[in-house]
């Protein structure tokens, strides 16, 4: 995605005498903007040359032409887009992750001596846009800096300049993985990676960034900067430079280079300050399908966000998305949101009234950013005025006497400064013109000097109409009329048949096909007055408009604040509405180690399946049941159940009510899930290797306040390795991490081992066996199961009958003869096969404990490095195979 120009010496520069000045000018600009695609204004087009032209032609599907040959007969490739459509093309380039510099003609070609002066007037990158057409939708558009420290955790800074929100902090874990995790909930569209000075001279963008942020523009950021002052909004309450200071500075410098006008208006928003957020890494966000479906090609895939979205404004939608990706880990903040949701819910039908008032409030924060960036159109300011007025009204009707503090402070934040509303009302007409050049930007009476020029122009225009009538009557030519064109200005037009009657004081100006055009002294005099009035009007209105916008600048932070409050109220109302409609309860969140869910439902599936969804309980606690191990056949509901738990925790800590009858959650500070392990298979890594890396990462990062959800641990490999690893993982979570965890496994062999753990429980899903097959009841019951009903699932999947029959026959044989088949199939002695399985499978104690079991039992995994563990594993497997072949170990 990143666009790096290769150092190249274009042909037209190899021979100075043949270099065309225009291309030299272009090259000079390119040299100053490395890594940018330079769009170079030439007349009515933005052009690119050389390699960039080929690239532009390819990416935008525009024609590749060539600029005239130089002395050697070389022709330079050239491709361009028309100026009037540049925004559309910019949108497409930005979406593809390019960084574009627009180089404009900064003097009028008419007055230029030689080459027109050109300068870069605008830099457009995916993370620094404010235009609606360039932003993907209402969701946040984050630009991030990730700064790797020489040692220990790195720091990051993130900004959405389209709303003015800035966040920063230090990563939880060390290294680039920690940074990737910290940035994941922001889903940045553009990331500058600032390596630590120790990374040498040619640092690379870390692979984890490419993996976790596909579609984001990635760039090696500048080295840590000392220089520029941080904007006042970042210096915050304490005035102390925070831990993320270096990242802040790099980010500020980048914003200054791309959107200099917007930098002063960014502000730290404390609602997600570090340490108060539930850590969700990129994989957990993906596996739980919080805001994006697992399958990125499925734009309609249901996510938690789509299932939970009852917002009515762009700001609300944005806030909801942000809250769900950034649940809180701060009890007070969670309870404050819950109180607000409850208070709103108590109003019953009245919340519909509030939502109606919200509807139609435009995206205030983004209009403010466009205002600050001078990319605002006059009608947007009228929308701002009307939206702010609505917000003010809503702030009034929001509050009832007993309201909790959060609603009170929101009502306050939602009230725009009265002076701002007054300014917008008195200045803007009801419906301003579509563009700034159209005139009529101000309400009559707002600016007397402008009104005067408008009156002058109007009077002169009236006079001209009178003149037309007079001349028509005097000459008797009924078709005589006054017209206007760019070259000749105003003229009388007389069609050919009436030419003889043309008055003597008319002077001929132009001949056209069927008519002659004339002027007269009187007409010229009126024209002069009209043009003069228009010129004054144009320059004075433009100057006044700029002054007006500059005055409004001071209120940009206030508008940002109102916009955020609107988004928050909308989100809280959405929570209240969903709670009501989807039979949710207010979860108790406290500091206990409990995780109790009664009658819990999967927020997304529950909605899709309705009555058919089977609710289930979850009961984890520190003492008797930290760990829950799920066994049972495919399709019985294990993955759904685990996701349901994860999603309920996310919702609860985002402040929402949850789909259940009763929920109590001891605050979770980190949620780690691995589901399916399908992510990277096909990218060259074996699935087992991927799984092991991921499990290793979780074991490293989880602590006793974490919730770990592992689906099908050890799946990616053959029975023995997988089983051993699954067991070791469970053991570690149980004994060392001591966190709450739910694990699903198809190794029913594990159940025996799990029984030995003091704080682990087992459960499986009930299955009803009928003559025509089995029915999954999706109802959780205690204890383990060793039935897998694989053949049944295969039938559901539509395998051919002969295959099913053969599978059925084999299964029966297996069930009656034990596991001898595996031994026989490999041509080994039947007895050995039986022994192998007995080690871990039999519910009776084996006659003599296998040496492998003894080894496993005595293994001190806490003091093994991953390498040693792997070596041990290989050794155990070798022994196992020897036993299988009938050789004594």
635 binds, among Mg ion, ligand ADP, none (CB under 5 to 8 A by kind): ligand ADP
Give Cα separations from 509 to 381, 461, 487 (angstroms).
Answer: 44, 21, 11
Asked if 574 touches Mg ion (CB under 5 A), the answer is no
Q: Which stretch binds ligand ADP (CB under 6 A): 271-279, 362-370, 442-450, 634-642?
A: 634-642
Site size for ligand ADP (CB under 6 A)? 12
| Site track for ligand ADP across 759-798, x = CB under 6 A | -------------------x--------------------
In this complex, which beta carbon is closest to Mg ion, that of residue 687 or of residue 879? 687
Under 8 Å between Cβ of 391 and 566 = yes
Question: If 0-12 CB within 10 Å is exposed, 13-18 middle and 19+ buried, where does residue 211 land?
Answer: middle
In this complex, which beta carbon is closest to Mg ion, that of residue 369 or of residue 639? 639
Minimum CB separation of residue 796 from ligand ADP in Å reads 10
Q: Which stretch binds ligand ADP (CB under 6 A): 168-176, 487-495, 523-531, 605-613?
A: 605-613
Minimum CB separation of residue 229 from ligand ADP in Å reads 54
Q: Say which residue the tokens 């520190």 belong to.
A: 622
Minimum CB separation of residue 699 from ligand ADP in Å reads 23
In this complex, which beta carbon is closest to ligand ADP, that of residue 60 or of residue 609? 609
The distance of Cα 38 from the centroid of its chain, to the nearest Å, equals 27
Q: DSSP assignment, residue 565?
A: H
CA–CA separation, 643 vs 664, rounded Å?
A: 17
Under 8 Å between Cβ of 258 and 123 = yes
In this complex, which beta carbon is closest to Mg ion, that of residue 442 or of residue 789? 789
Q: Which stretch binds ligand ADP (CB under 6 A): 245-253, 367-375, 430-438, 606-614?
A: 606-614
Asked if 635 touches ligand ADP (CB under 6 A), the answer is yes
Q: Which stretch binds ligand ADP (CB under 6 A): 82-90, 420-428, 545-553, 635-643?
A: 635-643
In this complex, which beta carbon is closest to ligand ADP, that of residue 638 or of residue 792? 638
Give Cα separations from 274 to 83, 161, 212, 321, 578 (angstroms).
Answer: 44, 20, 21, 18, 29
Q: DSSP assignment, residue 553?
A: H
Asked if 639 touches ligand ADP (CB under 6 A), the answer is yes
The token duo for 75 is: 């022709």
Asked if 291 touches Mg ion (CB under 5 A), the answer is no
Residues 840-869 that bind ligand ADP (CB under 6 A): none
CA–CA separation, 346 vs 885, rounded Å?
A: 71
Minimum CB separation of residue 690 from ligand ADP in Å reads 19
Asked if 303 touches ligand ADP (CB under 6 A), the answer is no
Minimum CB separation of residue 639 from ligand ADP in Å reads 3
636 binds, among ligand ADP, Mg ion, none (CB under 5 to 8 A by kind): ligand ADP
Residues 579-608 that bind Mg ion (CB under 5 A): none
CA–CA separation, 276 vs 326, rounded Å?
A: 10
In this complex, which beta carbon is closest to ligand ADP, that of residue 1 or of residue 793? 793
Minimum CB separation of residue 289 from ligand ADP in Å reads 13
Q: Say which residue the tokens 């009104």 belong to.
A: 451
Minimum CB separation of residue 763 from ligand ADP in Å reads 12
778 binds, among Mg ion, ligand ADP, none (CB under 5 to 8 A by kind): ligand ADP
Report CA torsion sign: 59, 63, 68, 72.
Answer: positive
Q: DSSP assignment, residue 657?
A: -
Minimum CB separation of residue 716 from ligand ADP in Å reads 16
Under 8 Å between Cβ of 163 and 140 = yes
Asked if 745 touches ligand ADP (CB under 6 A), the answer is no
Q: DSSP assignment, residue 264?
A: G
Residue 459: HSE in the Cβ half-sphere, 13 Å Cα cutoff: 10
Q: Which stretch binds ligand ADP (CB under 6 A): 34-42, 197-205, 629-637, 695-703?
A: 629-637
Minimum CB separation of residue 350 from ligand ADP in Å reads 35
User: Is residue 372 classed as helix, strand or coil in its secondary structure?
Assistant: helix
User: Is residue 345 classed as helix, strand or coil in its secondary structure?
Assistant: helix
Q: Say which residue the tokens 């093994």 belong to.
A: 864
Minimum CB separation of residue 640 from ligand ADP in Å reads 3
CA–CA separation, 633 vs 200, rounded Å?
A: 52
In this complex, which beta carbon is closest to ligand ADP, that of residue 186 or of residue 641? 641
The distance of Cα 86 from the centroid of its chain, to the nearest Å, equals 25
Residues 6+ apart with CB under 8 A from 162: 129, 130, 135, 141, 365, 366, 369
Residues 511-550 that bind Mg ion (CB under 5 A): none
Site size for Mg ion (CB under 5 A)? 2
In this complex, which beta carbon is closest to ligand ADP, that of residue 285 or of residue 614? 614
- Largest pairwise CA distance in the chain: 130
CA–CA separation, 846 vs 838, rounded Å?
A: 7
Minimum CB separation of residue 609 from ligand ADP in Å reads 6
Residues 6+ apart with CB under 8 A from 807: 790, 791, 794, 799
Residue 194 pairs with which residues in a beta bridge? 147
Asked if 609 touches ligand ADP (CB under 6 A), the answer is yes
640 binds, among Mg ion, ligand ADP, none (CB under 5 to 8 A by kind): ligand ADP
Residues 628-647 that bind Mg ion (CB under 5 A): 638-639
Choice from 338, 574, 636, 656 touching ligand ADP (CB under 6 A) = 636
Choice from 423, 613, 664, 717 touching ligand ADP (CB under 6 A) = 613
Strand-strand pairing, 100-105 and 118-124: antiparallel
The distance of Cα 472 from the centroid of its chain, to the nearest Å, equals 66
Helix (H) or strand (E) holding 480: none
Q: Which residue is nearest to Mg ion (CB)?
A: 639
Minimum CB separation of residue 631 from ligand ADP in Å reads 10
Q: Which stretch binds ligand ADP (CB under 6 A): 208-216, 360-368, 549-557, 612-620?
A: 612-620
Among residues 268, 306, 310, which one has the least CA distance to residue 289?
A: 306
Residues 811-840 that bind ligand ADP (CB under 6 A): none
836 binds, among ligand ADP, Mg ion, none (CB under 5 to 8 A by kind): none
Q: Which stretch binds ligand ADP (CB under 6 A): 308-316, 565-573, 633-641, 810-818?
A: 633-641
Give Cα separations from 271 to 119, 276, 277 (angstroms).
Answer: 40, 9, 9
CA–CA separation, 69 vs 122, rounded Å?
A: 30
In this complex, which beta carbon is closest to Mg ion, that of residue 631 or of residue 639? 639
Asked if 76 touches ligand ADP (CB under 6 A), the answer is no
Asked if 637 touches ligand ADP (CB under 6 A), the answer is yes
Q: Which stretch binds ligand ADP (CB under 6 A): 92-100, 475-483, 611-619, 666-674?
A: 611-619
CA–CA separation, 598 vs 621, rounded Å?
A: 14
10-38 CB burial, b ≥16 within 10 A, e <16? bbbeeeeeebeebbebbbebbeebeebbb
Residue 666 pairs with which residues in a beta bridge? 590
Residue 105 pairs with which residues in a beta bridge? 118
613 binds, among ligand ADP, Mg ion, none (CB under 5 to 8 A by kind): ligand ADP
In this complex, which beta carbon is closest to Mg ion, that of residue 231 or of residue 633? 633
Q: How far apart are the first and last CA of the chain?
A: 54
CA–CA separation, 826 vs 374, rounded Å?
A: 76
Minimum CB separation of residue 776 from ligand ADP in Å reads 6
* Residues of this chain that bind Mg ion (CB under 5 A): 638-639
* Residues of this chain that bind ligand ADP (CB under 6 A): 609, 612-614, 634-640, 778
């Amino acid at each position: 995605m990143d666009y790096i120009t290769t150092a190249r010496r274009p042909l037209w520069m190899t021979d100075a005498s043949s270099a065309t000045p225009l291309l030299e000018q272009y090259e000079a600009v390119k040299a100053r903007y490395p890594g940018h695609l330079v769009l170079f204004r030439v007349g009515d087009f933005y052009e690119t040359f050389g390699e960039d032209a080929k690239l532009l032609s390819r990416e935008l599907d525009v024609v590749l032409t060539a600029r005239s040959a130089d002395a050697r007969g070389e022709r330079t490739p050239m491709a361009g887009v028309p100026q009037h459509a540049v925004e559309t093309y910019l949108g497409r380039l930005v979406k593809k992750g390019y960084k574009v510099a627009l180089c404009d003609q900064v003097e009028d070609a008419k007055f230029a001596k030689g080459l027109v002066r050109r300068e870069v007037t605008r830099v457009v990158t995916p993370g620094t846009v404010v235009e609606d057409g360039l932003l993907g939708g209402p969701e946040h558009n984050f630009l991030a800096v990730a700064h790797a420290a020489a040692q220990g955790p790195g720091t990051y800074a993130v900004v959405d300049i389209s709303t003015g929100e800035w966040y920063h902090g230090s990563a939880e874990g060390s290294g680039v993985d920690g940074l990737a995790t910290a940035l994941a909930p922001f889903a940045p569209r553009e990331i500058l990676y600032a390596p630590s000075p120790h990374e040498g001279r040619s640092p690379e963008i870390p692979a984890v960034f490419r993996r976790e942020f596909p579609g984001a523009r990635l760039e090696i950021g500048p080295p840590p900067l000392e220089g520029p002052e941080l904007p006042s909004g970042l210096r915050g309450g304490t005035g102390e430079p925070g831990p993320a200071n270096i990242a802040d500075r790099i980010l500020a410098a980048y914003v200054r280079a791309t959107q200099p006008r917007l930098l002063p208006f960014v502000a730290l928003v404390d609602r997600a300050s570090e340490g108060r957020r539930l850590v969700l890494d990129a994989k957990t966000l993906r596996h739980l399908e919080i805001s994006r479906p697992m399958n990125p090609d499925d734009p309609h895939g249901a996510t938690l966000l789509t299932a939970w979205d009852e917002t009515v404004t762009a700001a609300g939608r944005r806030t909801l998305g942000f809250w769900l990706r950034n649940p809180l880990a701060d009890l007070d903040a969670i309870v404050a949101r819950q109180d607000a949701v409850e208070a709103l819910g108590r109003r019953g039908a009245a919340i519909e009234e509030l939502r109606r008032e919200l509807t139609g409030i435009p995206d205030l924060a983004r209009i403010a950013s466009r205002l600050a960036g001078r990319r605002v159109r006059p009608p947007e300011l009228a929308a701002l005025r009307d939206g702010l007025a609505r917000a003010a009204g809503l702030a009034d009707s929001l509050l009832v006497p007993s309201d909790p503090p959060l609603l009170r402070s929101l009502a306050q934040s939602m009230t725009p400064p009265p002076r701002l509303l007054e300014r917008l009302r008195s200045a803007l007409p009801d419906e301003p013109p579509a563009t700034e050049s159209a005139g009529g930007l101000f309400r009559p009476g707002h600016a007397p000097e402008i009104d005067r020029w408008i009156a002058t122009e109007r009077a002169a225009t009236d006079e001209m109409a009178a003149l037309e009538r007079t001349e028509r009557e005097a000459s008797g030519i009924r078709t005589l009329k006054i017209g206007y064109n760019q070259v000749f200005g105003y003229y009388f037009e007389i069609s050919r048949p009436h030419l003889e009657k043309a008055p003597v004081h008319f002077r001929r100006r132009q001949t056209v096909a069927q008519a002659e055009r004339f002027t007269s002294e009187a007409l010229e005099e009126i024209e002069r007055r009209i043009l003069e009035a228009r010129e004054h009007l144009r320059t004075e209105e433009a100057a006044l408009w700029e002054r007006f916008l500059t005055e409004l600048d001071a209120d940009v932070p206030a508008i940002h604040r109102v916009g955020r409050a609107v988004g928050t109220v909308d989100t809280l109302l959405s929570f209240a509405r969903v709670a009501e409609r989807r039979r949710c309860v207010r979860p108790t969140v406290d500091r206990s180690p409990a995780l109790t869910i009664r009658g819990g439902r999967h927020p997304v599936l529950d909605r899709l399946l309705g009555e058919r969804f089977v609710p289930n309980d979850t009961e984890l606690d520190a003492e008797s049941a930290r760990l829950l191990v799920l066994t049972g056949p495919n399709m019985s509901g294990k993955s759904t159940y685990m996701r349901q738990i994860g999603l309920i925790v996310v919702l609860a800590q985002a402040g929402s009510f949850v789909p259940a009858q009763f929920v109590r959650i001891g605050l979770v500070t980190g949620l780690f899930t691995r589901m399916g392990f399908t992510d990277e298979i096909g990218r060259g890594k074996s699935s087992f290797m991927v799984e092991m890396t991921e499990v290793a990462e979780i074991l490293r990062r989880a602590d006793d306040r974490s919730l770990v959800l592992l689906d099908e641990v050890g799946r990616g490999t053959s029975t023995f390795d997988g089983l051993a690893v699954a067991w070791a993982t469970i053991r570690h979570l149980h004994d060392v991490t001591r966190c709450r965890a739910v694990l699903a496994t198809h190794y029913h062999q594990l159940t025996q081992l799990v029984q030995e753990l003091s704080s682990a429980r087992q459960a499986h899903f009930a299955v009803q066996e009928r003559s025509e097959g089995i029915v999954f009841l999706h109802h959780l019951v205690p204890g383990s199961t060793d039935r897998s009903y694989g053949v049944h699932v295969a039938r559901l999947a539509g395998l051919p009958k002969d295959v099913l029959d053969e599978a059925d026959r084999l299964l029966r044989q297996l069930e009656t003869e034990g596991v001898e088949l595996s031994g026989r199939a490999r041509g080994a002695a039947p007895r050995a096969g039986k022994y192998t399985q007995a080690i871990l499978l039999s519910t009776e104690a084996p006659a003599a404990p296998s040496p492998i079991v003894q080894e496993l039992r005595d293994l001190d995994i806490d003091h093994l490095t991953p390498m040693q563990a792997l070596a041990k594993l290989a050794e155990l497997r070798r022994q196992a195979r020897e036993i299988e072949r009938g050789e004594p170990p």
